[in-house]
Amino acid sequence: MNENNSSNEETGDYTTGDAFDDRYVSVNDYTGEGYDLVNGEKMDVIANEKFAEIEEAMKAFFLEEYKIDVIVHNVVGNVDGATVFVESVGEPHFHTYAMIGIDRQDEEIIPDSIWTQSSQVEQSLFGGLLAMIMDEEFAVLDDFVEELADKHPIVGWRQEAINNVGSTGYTTPYYFIQPMTLRDEMEEINDLYFKNPNISADELKSVFDKDAYNANYLRISIQVYMDEADSQPIEALFDEIVQEFKALEGLPRGNYSISLHDNYVNKLSASGNQDNSLNTRDLIKE
């Protein structure tokens, strides 16, 4: 689900041998444990020891900068400090991350050294607001993926994994949304939120025209896994899922991708993509 940490991802199939045993864990068991960032080993130890300080600083940062209360779920050391995974409280709902500096020599947190990647949090916030605006449409998508899991041998991510390493904004066990190229719309709707963090879904709906935006620019990624450890992705099952999706009406307008993976997640990068994954892209719903 997480596409942001590619530093540990290598090409090739690690479904056999020692490399597989070291890197991969069943999605059924995966909670985000083992996630790793380059040259973050020492900082990881410090960050976990200083979790309470990081938690306090991050909560203050998100409240001041983004008018949102957050739950701090996890910290992972990076070369300059720690990457901190958070979940917003209530609506708009999303998962995202920020970085905090650590003084390597003194092993102290630097509370006033917090930063985010460009537009990362803004995009995540906007995704949560879109989910409020198009609640009926996303309910159709939720019902679809849950029905898929009921009738096919597939599963999604555990909630613990989403909390601990999820950084893709509005995220569910089966899909996440990326509205990053809807820049004008993002600025308009986010600005309304910043002016009034208690803005209601009805107020947002009165401003945002859900039939006017460019559907190509709202990307929604559906990611599902085979439900048993030794199962390989099945082409016939994947084709059936795609055809059922194409026949579905009432979804959020967007550019969809669908991926069917085997049962394993690379615990270092939080990615299910492997050589045997089945993928299709650019399924446009207008």
Longest dimension (CA), the chain: 59
Write down the pLDDT at residue 20.
52
Average pLDDT over residues 51-78: 96
Min mean pLDDT across 15-19, 25-29, 278-282 is at 15-19
Average pLDDT over residues 13-32: 73
Average pLDDT over residues 149-166: 96
**Tokens at 27, concatenated:** 């999605």
| 216-240 pLDDT tens trace | 999 999 999 999 998 999 999 999 9
Write down the pLDDT at residue 273.
93
Q: With 70 as the cut, is the pLDDT of residue 7 above it?
A: no
Q: With 60 as the cut, is the pLDDT of residue 9 above it?
A: no
Average pLDDT over residues 76-100: 95
**Whole-prediction pTM value?**
0.90
Write down the pLDDT at residue 21.
63
Average pLDDT over residues 71-79: 95
| 140-155 pLDDT tens trace | 999 999 999 999 999 9
Write down the pLDDT at residue 77.
93
Residue ranges per structural domain of the chain: 34-116, 121-285
Instruction: Report the alpha-carbon distance of residue 56 to residue 99 in Å, rounded.
Output: 14
| 182-203 pLDDT tens trace | 999 999 999 999 999 999 999 9
Average pLDDT over residues 100-122: 92
Q: With 60 as the cut, is the pLDDT of residue 18 above it?
A: no
Burial string for 46-75 (b: 16+ CB within 10 Å, else e) reads: bbeebeeebbebbbebbeeebebebebbbb
Average pLDDT over residues 233-260: 97
| Mean pLDDT (the chain, rounded) | 91
Q: How confident is the model at residue 11 (pLDDT cuts 50, 70, 90)?
A: very low
Q: How confident is the model at residue 37 (pLDDT cuts 50, 70, 90)?
A: confident
